[in-house]
Structure 1
Amino acid sequence: MIDTGEGITVGMMRSARTAGAVLTMALVVAGAAACEGGKDAGQKTGATAAAASTPPQPFGTGGYRGLQLSMTKDEALASGALEPSPVSLFNGCTDYAYKGGPAPDPVRMAAETEARAKSDKALARIDEMRANRKPFETLAPGASLEQMVKHSERLQERLKQEAAERQESDALFKEADVIVTARKNRDQAFLATGRVNFGTEGLRQLVAPADARTAEGVGAGSAEDELKRAYEGKALKPTEDGKYELPAEGGNGGPDWFYEFTMAEGKVAGLALVKHNTYCS
Structure 2
Amino acid sequence: MDERFQSVDKTLLARRFGAAARHYDAHARFQQEVGQVLLEWMPSRPVSTDLAVSGLDLGCGTGFFLPQLANRCDELVGLDLAPGMLAQAALRGGRAQLVCGDAERLPFADNTFDWVFSSLTLQWCERPAQAFRELLRVVKPGGQIHFSTLLDESLWQLRAAWQQVDGEAHLNRFLSLTQLVQALAEAGEAAPVLAAHDWEIPYHEAPQLLRDLKGIGANQVNAPRATEHRVGLQGRARLQRFIQAYEQFRQPDGQLVATYRVCLGALCKPC
Q: TM-score per shorter chain, which class?
A: under 0.3
Q: Given the two structures, how large is their TM-score scaled by the length of structure 1?
A: 0.19
Q: Given the two structures, how large is their TM-score scaled by the length of structure 2?
A: 0.19
Greater relative contact order (CA < 8 Å, ≥ 6 in sequence): 2
Structure with the higher helix share, 1 or 2: 1
Structure exhibiting the larger radius of gyration computed from Cα positions: 1
Structure with the higher strand share, 1 or 2: 2
